[in-house]
Amino acid sequence: MDSIAKEIEIKESDINIFGFWVYLMTDLVLFAVLFACFIVLRDSTFGGPTGAGLFQVSSVLAETLFLLTSSFTCSLGTYAIHRKEKNQAIIWFAVTFALGLAFLYLEISEFATFFQQGATPSRSAFLSSFFTLVGTHGLHIAIGLLWMVVAMFHIGLRPLSPHSISKIFRMAFFWHFLDFVWIFIFTVVYGMGLLNG
Amino acid sequence: MENFLSGKLSLEELPQHWYTVGGTAFMLITGILIVILLKKTKRWGWLWNEWLTSTDPKKIGTMYMIFAALMFFRGMVDVGMMWVQQSFAADSRGYLTSDHFQQISTAHGDIMVFFVTMGFFFGLMNWIIPLQIGARDLAFPFMNSLGFWLTAAGGLLINFFFMIGGEFANTGWIAAAPFSELEFNPGVGVDYLIWSLQLSGLGSLLAGINFTVTIIKKRAPGMTLMKMSLFVWTSLCGMILVISVFPVLTATTFLLWLDRVFSMHFFTTGGGGNQMMYWNLIWMWGHPEVYILVLPAFGMFSEIVATFSQKKIFGYVSMVCAAVSITLLSYLVWLHHFFTMGAGADVNSFFGIVTMFIAIPSGVQVFNWILTMYKGRVIFASPMYWVIGFICIFMIGGMAGVLQASPPADFQVHNSLFLIAHFHSMIIGVALFGIFAGVNYWFPKIFGFKLNERLDKQAFWFWLVGFFVSFIPLYLLGFMGAPRRLDHYALSTGWQPLFITSTIGFFLIVCGIITQVWQIFVSIKEKKQHLDRTGDPWNGRTLEWATSSPPPFYNFAVIPTITSHEEFWSMKKRGISIQKHYEDILLPKNTGMGIYISGIAFVVGFALVWQVFWLALLGLFGVVACIIILSLDENREYVLPKAKVAEIERMR
């Protein structure tokens, strides 16, 4: 009986992970729409600020560095879960959380400087699509951070079952996925924006 | 953003027109009557425990059906008002203002597509897919409940303008920009449209993920992909379309809302916005959506044709290939909705040719259905009537579609009633006829008794004749140049007789609907004479008929091992019945979380329509809190011991 229950549990975790992949693909489609809008509208600056005029290489590089490193530490966290080392896992996820928070802080202060320069979402189609695309990614990061807190409580307070391990893996997938999307934002939005200027 | 506390809400938004007062009164009186009825019969607990919180796909399916049927009446009232207006509005303004007429037209389209057709399909899939793949429930039972309740919340929101606001979008069902922008549409009508579609779209997306994962991961042992029944195949194709295009709808309508509320410039006429971007995006969702509405119906027709021809489906493999190619091609044709945009000859030719390609797999399917009947011993049970009626309408509608696939021809009939007649041939002739056939075919499986076939055949004739009488005039009017959403016209056009004929057709269809309602009443009354004790009332071929009617809540006491795509037929041929060696069964518990989250989501949607941002934020926190509470609960399933299973099976 016990082994059957365990087998069912593992099978269910497998279904949950596959289901989560499917969800991530739908999220990717959502981002694809935002990217398409950005690419179509990037030159519609309507006499307002352009990407090259606004973007700061240093802050974008710092954001990228934080996010890429956080993906690495997140992997170390899941690796610790694999080895059932709870404390290590919590430490690595806490580091990931701190890096994610730093990323979010930089992004918000970047947006704040843009606003000060009069570059608001309602200024031009380019800025609407920029803020929507990057802001949607930032919102996802905030959700990921919240999820990470819940996951850390989970690890700290409860025994590791196949069920809860699969939950933590899904959280990690989500985090890596956001990293993946960021690489495209970095290239398409910031990189090409700076080069075109 | 006028007022922090109440947003755009004010007392002036309470009902004051005849239709909003009427609508509000109707909704309130119905609600009060239901409450009184429940109180009198003391059925609150039963309703809550057995139905509203259920995670059993058969019950969620039934709830989808009831919900879709209610929305269907709303949609039919809308279209009746439009038809009556068009019959009288020659050289007169009719009884509706232009603006009101446009709002009705928009509501009719959105309700019929999002809530009626998709609602019925999700209902039928919930009923049948787990049974056909030999599963006990869906991959994510809670998500199934949540998906249904989100759709229901969207349905409530699309009707809620009767109570508060009194205005719906007058933009046409796709909320075409820039007309749907704040500049031209300052009221909240478009916001109601946006948020009811957001809620129901999210519900559909969840259902789409759920069915895709269920079909891929939860099939009975031995059921390889090519041993799935055709309804499962076409549903899988439809669901893959859902998960790949519904995010596009969510994003596009959300961007439109950003434009309207935060003065952004995605699709506006100023600020560098690009209106054609909206058209591209909305039809990148919209065209695959058409196939989401017809593919599951194709699968149902395949099942029904095979059963009643007492022959296996002709060309199973080619049917699967056809469904998959329709799925793939449907991604590549969206631009044919606006050949007139001026994308140039090359682009238009590409999309025109790909559109014509779709006729090939569709033709393969039609020929296979006909060849299945050929040399079969066809039983003319009532579901078979709908199938044959479907083939006739599909031929005409399909030809009209191929005609419009040619850009020069499309320029002539673009946005005319010809187009309206074409896509109603598809949605009524394929999707609705499929739903009626499917409901009559599978009703005995779910409820344990057959529906009255004589009345169903009567309803069929009303529908078929009514369809031709109402839509053939529209094809003609389209050729004469009558545009869609026409609220009045000059008598000298000579169109009035055709509009009146069309309206007569509408009333024939109404007779069909009345017959169908009567059919259900009569069938329930005569239930005892039509009980299905065998579990196999039609001499069926696929796995769902292998269990009893109605199936126990765990569907199959023992999950069979599958050897063919007509598993039950081969079981019958080999004289094998399912083994009686029982095991413990793991089943999902009921949960009220789906209702709670959807209830809060409804409040969020309402708050965003009226820009009451504090309420929306509060609601979002509520949703997040619910999800966190849910994630902490690890005992969402219970074990049904094998002794209990054996006992239930003995009692049957």
What's the gap in Å between the CA of B286 and the closest CA on chain A? 14
Domain of residue A104 covers: 58-193
Crossing angle (nearest 10°) for helices A125-157 and B613-632? 30
Outline where B526-566 has alpha helix (H). Answer: none
Query: In the CATH hierarchy, which fold is given to the domain comprising B43-591+636-651?
Result: Cytochrome C Oxidase; Chain A (1.20.210)
**How far is residue B198's CA from residue B602's CA, in Å, rounded to a whole number?**
10
**A-proximal residues of B, 533-592, CB under 8 Å:** 583-584, 586
* Nearest residue to B285 (alpha-carbon basis) of B252, B254, B326: B252
What is the model's pLDDT at position B202?
97
Q: Which residues of B touch A163 (CB under 8 A)?
A: 634
Q: Among B255, B262, B272, select the one facing A45 at the smallest CB separation.
A: B272
* Nearest residue to B462 (alpha-carbon basis) of B516, B397, B391, B499: B516
**How far is residue B642's CA from residue B647's CA, in Å, rounded to a whole number?**
9
* Nearest residue to B58 (alpha-carbon basis) of B544, B382, B435: B544
- Pairwise CB contact (< 8 Å): B271 & A33: no
Chain centroid to CA B144: how far? 15
B271 touches chain A (CB under 8 A): yes
B178: preceding bond cis by omega (within 30 degrees)? yes
Q: Is residue A48 part of a domain?
A: no
pTM score, whole prediction: 0.96
The answer to whether the beta carbons of residues B425 and B291 sit under 8 Å apart is no
**How far is residue B603's CA from residue A24's CA, in Å, rounded to a whole number?**
27
The answer to whether the beta carbons of residues A79 and A137 sit under 8 Å apart is no
Q: Which residues of A touch B277 (CB under 8 A)?
A: 37, 40-41
Interface predicted TM-score (ipTM) of this complex, two decimals? 0.95
Q: How far apart are the first and last CA of chain B?
A: 62
What is the model's pLDDT at position B217?
94
**How far is residue B65's CA from residue B451's CA, in Å, rounded to a whole number?**
15
What is the model's pLDDT at position A197?
58
The answer to whether the beta carbons of residues B417 and B478 sit under 8 Å apart is yes
The answer to whether the beta carbons of residues B581 and B171 sit under 8 Å apart is no
DSSP secondary structure, B281-326, as one string: HHHHHHHHHHHHHHHHHHHHHHHHHHHHHTSPPTTHHHHHHHHHHH
> Any idea what the Cα angle at residue A190 is, between residues A189 and A191, rounded to 5°?
105
Query: Which token pair is B574?
Result: 């080999």
**How far is residue B401's CA from residue B325's CA, in Å, rounded to a whole number?**
18
Q: Residue B231: enclosing H or E segment and its boundaries? A: helix B230-262
Q: Is residue A9 part of a domain?
A: no
Q: Which residues of B touch A122 (CB under 8 A)?
A: 262-265, 271
Residue B446, CA distances (Å) to B1, B57, B450, B544 in order:
50, 11, 10, 10
- Pairwise CB contact (< 8 Å): B634 & A123: no
Which regions of chain A does DSSP assign to beta strands (E)? none
A15 touches chain B (CB under 8 A): yes
HEC readout, B194-220: HHHHHHHHHHHHHHHHHHHHHHHHCCC
Chains A, B: CB contacts within 8 A come to 112
Q: Where are the domains of chain B?
A: 43-591+636-651
- Pairwise CB contact (< 8 Å): B265 & A128: yes
* Nearest residue to A185 (alpha-carbon basis) of A21, A3, A80, A32: A32
Q: Supply the CATH number for residue A121's domain.
A: 1.20.120.80
What's the gap in Å between the CA of B237 and the closest CA on chain A? 14
Query: Which token pair is B389?
Result: 């009626």
Q: Which residues of A touch B272 (CB under 8 A)?
A: 41, 44-46, 124-126
**How far is residue B564's CA from residue B4's CA, in Å, rounded to a whole number?**
63
Q: Which residues of A touch B252 (CB under 8 A)?
A: 33
Q: Is residue A26 part of a domain?
A: no
SS3 state at B505: helix
Neighbours of B48 (CB within 10 A): 15
**How far is residue B11's CA from residue B557's CA, in Å, rounded to a whole number?**
58
SS3 state at B586: strand
Q: Is residue A42 part of a domain?
A: no
Tokens 């990189």, residue?
Answer: A191
Neighbours of B189 (CB within 10 A): 25
Burial class (CB in 10 A: 0-12, 13-18, 19+), A125: buried
Partners of residue B637 on adjacent β-strands: B588
Pick out chain B residues at pLDDT < 70.
1-2, 578-579
**How far is residue B301's CA from residue B384's CA, in Å, rounded to a whole number?**
9
Query: Which token pair is B363?
Result: 């033709």
Instruction: Give the phi and the psi of residue B637 in degrees, each rounded to 5.
Output: -130, 160
- Pairwise CB contact (< 8 Å): A26 & B262: no
What is the model's pLDDT at position B10?
86
Q: What is the DSSP code (8-state) at residue A130? A: H
Query: Which token pair is B621?
Result: 């926190």
Pick out chain A residues at pLDDT < 50.
1
Query: Which token pair is B43?
Result: 């059925």
**How far is residue B143's CA from residue A180's CA, in Å, rounded to a whole number?**
27
Outline where B4-140 has alpha helix (H). Answer: 18-41, 44-46, 57-88, 98-110, 118-132
Neighbours of B633 (CB within 10 A): 11
Q: Which residues of B touch A30 (CB under 8 A)?
A: 247-248, 250-251
CB contact set of A2 (below 8 Å; sequence gap of 6+): none
Neighbours of B95 (CB within 10 A): 12
Neighbours of B392 (CB within 10 A): 15
In this structure, is the dihedral angle defined by the CA atoms of residues B208, B212, B215 and B218, taken in order, positive or negative? negative
> Any idea what the Cα angle at residue B392 is, between residues B389 and B396, rounded to 5°?
140
Tokens 């290590």, residue?
Answer: A88
How many domains, chain A?
1
What is the model's pLDDT at position B8?
87
